[in-house]
Amino acid sequence: MAVAAGWSLTACDSGPSQRQLDAQALLPHAQAAFRQQTAAAQLAPRNTAYTEALGTVADQRGQHLTALRDEINRLHSSIAAQIETPAPTPTASVQALAGELEQSAKAAATSCLETSGFTAGLLGSISASCQTLAKVQLA
């Protein structure tokens, strides 16, 4: 009994590892990439003036999703299961999606400032990309 209590206390004290925290920090960016990839694909057939642009948004947010999922898997693979939950709710319009992309660009830039190394470079690049998707593709 005493041994079991001691083990439990040790496990509690150790808390989440740095790798787990780093993976957790990437999770909202991966969820946003998945949400916006899905939204762009859903909006494309209904907005013919933006069909090609929305296809590019879906493709490039899909590439962000893959890169973020790879990094989350490397850091702490069990967190990757949360990327596609909850199921995304429909985005109302192209303008709404552009607004969400700008928000994602700002969020990725903010996280970039708080990280380092490869992760900082990845988040900074995704932030810059989201700005171009909002301001160039969906302008």
Partner 1 sequence: MSQNSALNAAADAENTAVFTYGLLTAFTTGEVRRTVAQDIVDHRVRRDELNEILLADGQPERTPAAGYRLPIEVTDQGTAAQAAMAAEVDCEKAYRALLEQATDGAVRRTGVDGLTACALRSSYWRGIAGVSPRTVAFPGQ
- List residues binding partner 1 (CB under 8 A): 52, 56, 59-60, 63-64, 67, 105, 109, 112-114, 116-118, 120-122, 124-129, 131-133, 135-137
Cβ proximity to partner 1, 20 vs 63, nearer residue: 63
What is the smallest separation between the CB atom of 24 and partner 1, expressed in angstroms? 20
What is the smallest separation between the CB atom of 41 and partner 1, expressed in angstroms? 16
What is the smallest separation between the CB atom of 52 and partner 1, expressed in angstroms? 8
Cβ proximity to partner 1, 72 vs 112, nearer residue: 112
Supply φ then ψ for residue 23, to 5 degrees. -65, -40
Buried b (16+ CB within 10 A) or exposed e, 13-22: eeeeeeeeeb
Structure tokens at 130: 């989201």
Q: How far apart are the C-alpha atoms of 15 and 75, rounded to whole Å?
A: 16
What is the smallest separation between the CB atom of 12 and partner 1, expressed in angstroms? 32
Concatenating the DSSP letter of every residue in 36-77 gives HHHHHHHHGGG-GGGHHHHHHHHHHHHHHHHHHHHHHHHHHG
Cβ proximity to partner 1, 48 vs 87, nearer residue: 48
Q: How far apart are the C-alpha atoms of 35 and 56, rounded to whole Å?
A: 15
Cβ proximity to partner 1, 8 vs 110, nearer residue: 110
